[in-house]
Structure 1
Amino acid sequence: MVRIANCSGFYGDRFGAAAEQLAGGPIDYLTGDYLAELTMAILGKARRRDPEAGYATTFLGQMEQVLGTALDKGVRIVANAGGLNPAGLAARLRELTARLGLTATIVHIEGDDLTGRLGTVDGRDVLTANVYLGSWAIVEALRQGADVVVCPRVTDAALTVGPAAFHHGWGRTDWDRLAGAVVAGHVIECGCQATGGNYPFLDEVRDPIDPGFPIVEIAENGEFVVTKHPGTGGLVSVGTVTSQLVYEIDSPRYLTPDVTARFDSVDLTQDGPDRVRVRGVRGEPPPPTAKVCVNVEGGYRNTITFPLVGLDIERKADLVERGLFARLDRDLFDAVHVDLVSGTGLRVTVQGRDPAAVGRSFTAAAVELGLASYPGFFLLDPPRAASAYTVTRSVLVAADTVEQVVVGPGGQRTTVPLAHPADPFTVDLTPPPPADPPGGPVVRAPLGTVFGARSGDKGGDANVGVWGRDADAYAWLAGHLTVERFTALLPGTRGLTVHRHELPRLFALNFVVRGLLGGGASANPALDPQAKSLGELLRAGTVELPAALLEGS
Structure 2
Amino acid sequence: MSPEMLRVGNCSGFYGDRLTAMREMLEGGRLDVLTGDYLAELTMLILARDRAKDPDAGYARTFLAQLRDCLRLALDRGVRIVSNAGGVNPGGLVAAVRALGLDPRIALVRGDDLTPRAGDLGLGAPLGAHAYLGAFGIARALRAGADVVITGRVTDASLVVGPAIAHFGWDREDFDKLAGATVAGHVIECGAQATGGNYAFFTELDDPLRPGFPIAELRPDGSSVITKHPGTGGAVTVGTVTAQLVYEVAGARYPGPDVTTRLDTVTLRPAGPDRVEISGVRGEPPPPDVKVSCTSVGGYRNELTVVLTGLDVEAKAALFRRQFDAARGAEPAEVQWGLARLDTPDAPTQQQASALLTVVARDPDEKVAGRAFSNAAVELALSSYPGFFSTTPPERARPYGVFTAGYVPQAVPAHEVVHDDGTAERIDPPPVTRPLAEPRADPPPPVAPGPTRRLPLGTLAGARSGDKGGDANVGLWVRDDAAYPWLAALITEDTVRTLLPEAAALPVRITRLPAVRAVNVVIEGLLGRGVAYHARFDPQAKALGEWLRSRHVDIPTALLEAP
**TM-score, normalising length: structure 1:** 0.96
1:40 aligns with 2:51: no
Q: In 1, distance between residues paired with 2:332 and 2:433?
A: 51
Matched, 1:500 2:510: yes
Determine the C-alpha separation between the residues in 1 that align with 2:224 and 2:480: 22
Percentage of matched positions with identical amino acids: 52
Partner deviation per Cα, 1:398-439 (whole Å, 9 max, x = no partner): 11222211112332211112x211264999999999976365
SS of the aligned residue for 1:53 comes to: coil
Relative distance call for 1:455 and 1:422 in structure 2 (3 A) is same
Q: Does 1:416 align with 2:427?
A: yes
Matches within 5 A, 1:123-522: 125-329=125-329, 332-343=331-342, 344-417=355-428, 419-422=429-432, 424=434, 437=447, 439-522=449-532
In 1, Cα distance between equivalents of 2:435 and 2:323: 62
- Which amino acid counterpart does residue 185 of structure 2 have in structure 1? G
1:320 shift after superposition: 1.3
Alpha-carbon offset, residue 378 of structure 1:
0.9
SS of the residue corresponding to residue 401 of structure 1 reads coil
Cα separation, 1, equivalents of 2:52 and 2:409: 28
Letter in 1 for 2:422: G
Shift of 1:309: 1.9
Q: Which has the larger displacement, 340-349 or 149-158?
A: 340-349
Query: Displacement of 1:481 after TM fit?
Result: 1.7
Q: Which segment drifts farther, 523-532 or 360-369?
A: 523-532
**Residues 372, 126 of structure 1: alpha-carbon distance in 2 compared, 3 angstrom cutoff:** same
- Go from structure 1 to structure 2 and tell me whether the alpha carbon gap of 1:552 and 1:309 turns closer, same or farther (over 3 Å shift): farther
Task: Call closer, same or farther: CA 1:68–1:546 in 2, change over 3 Å.
Answer: same
Moved more, 308-317 or 80-89: 308-317
CA RMSD of aligned residues (A): 2.1
Determine the C-alpha separation between the residues in 1 that align with 2:388 and 2:562: 49
What is the deviation of 1:550?
1.9
Following the alignment from structure 2 to structure 1, what is the Cα–Cα distance between the partners of residues 158 and 457? 35
How much has 1:26 moved relative to structure 2?
0.5
Larger mean Cα displacement after TM superposition, 331-340 or 426-435 = 426-435
Counterpart AA for 2:536 = A
Q: Secondary structure at the match of 1:230?
A: coil
Moved more, 520-529 or 243-252: 520-529
Where 1:307 maps in the other structure, the secondary structure is strand
Q: Do the aligned residues in 2 keep the contact of 1:179 with 1:259 (CA within 8 Å)? A: yes
Whether the aligned pair in 2 keeps the contact of 1:257 and 1:290 (CA below 8 Å) is yes
Report Cα offsets for 1:470-493 as digits up to 9, x if no partner.
221110011122110111000001
CA distance in structure 1 between the aligned counterparts of 2:541 and 2:437, rounded to whole angstroms: 32
Q: Which amino acid aligns with 2:300?
A: Y
Give, in whole Å, the separation in 2 of the partners of 1:214 and 1:158.
16
The answer (yes or no) to whether the contact 1:304–1:381 under 8 Å persists in 2 is yes
Listed one character per residue, the Cα deviations across residues 197-248 of structure 1 (whole Å, up to 9, x for unaligned) are 0001122222212000000000100110000011111011111100101100
User: Letter of the aligned partner of 1:518 in structure 2?
Assistant: G
Query: Shift in Å at residue 121 of structure 1?
Result: 9.7
The question of whether the paired residues in 1 share the 8 Å contact of 2:400 and 2:532 is answered with: yes
Rate the CA distance shift 1:335–1:120 in 2: closer, same or farther, 3 A: farther
Question: Which residue among 70, 77, 82 is the counterpart of 1:66?
Answer: 70
Alpha-carbon distance in structure 2 between the residues aligned to 1:296 and 1:469:
41
What is the one-letter code of the residue matched to 2:405?
S
Count of residues in correspondence between the two structures: 547
The answer to whether the 8 Å contact 2:287/2:433 transfers is no
**CA displacement 1:308-351 (0-9 Å, x = unmatched):** 2222222211121111001124x621110100123351010000
Taking the aligned partners of 2:443 and 2:547, their CA distance within structure 1 comes to 31
Partner SS state of residue 391, structure 1 = strand
Task: Specify every segment of 5 or more residues in structure 2 that has no aligned partner in the other structure, as ranges.
Answer: 343-354
Distance in 2 separating the partners of 1:29 and 1:547:
48
The one-letter amino acid of 1:416's match is I
Amino acid in the other structure paired with 1:7: C
How big is the shift at 1:545? 0.5
Q: Name the SS for the 2:309 alignment partner.
A: coil
Q: 1:305 to 1:426 in 2, by over 3 A?
A: closer
Asked whether the 8 Å contact 2:195–2:240 carries over to 1, the reply is yes
Match 1:17 to one of 10, 14, 21: 21
Letter in 1 for 2:68: E
* Cα 1:123/1:253, change in 2 over 3 Å: closer
- Out of 517, 523, 529, the residue aligned to residue 533 of structure 2 is 523
Q: CA deviation at 1:458?
A: 0.5
CA distance in 2, matches of 1:433, 1:314: 44
In structure 2, what residue type is equivalent to 1:337?
Q
Is the alpha carbon distance of 1:426 and 1:279 closer, same or farther for their aligned partners in structure 2, counting shifts above 3 Å? Answer: farther
**CA distance in structure 2 between the aligned counterparts of 1:428 and 1:519, rounded to whole angstroms:** 25
* CA drift at 1:548: 1.8
3-state secondary structure, aligned to 1:235: coil
Alpha-carbon spacing, 1:367–1:121, altered in 2? closer, same or farther (3 Å): farther
- Asked if the contact 2:444/2:488 (under 8 Å) is kept, the reply is no
Partner Cα distance (1:167, 1:134) in 2: 16
Alignment gaps of 5+ in structure 1: none
Give secondary structure in 2 for the equivalent of 1:370: coil
Q: Which amino acid aligns with 1:342?
A: R
Give the whole-Å Cα distance in 1 for the aligned partners of 2:279 and 2:377. 58
Distance 1:81 1:308, change over 3 A: same
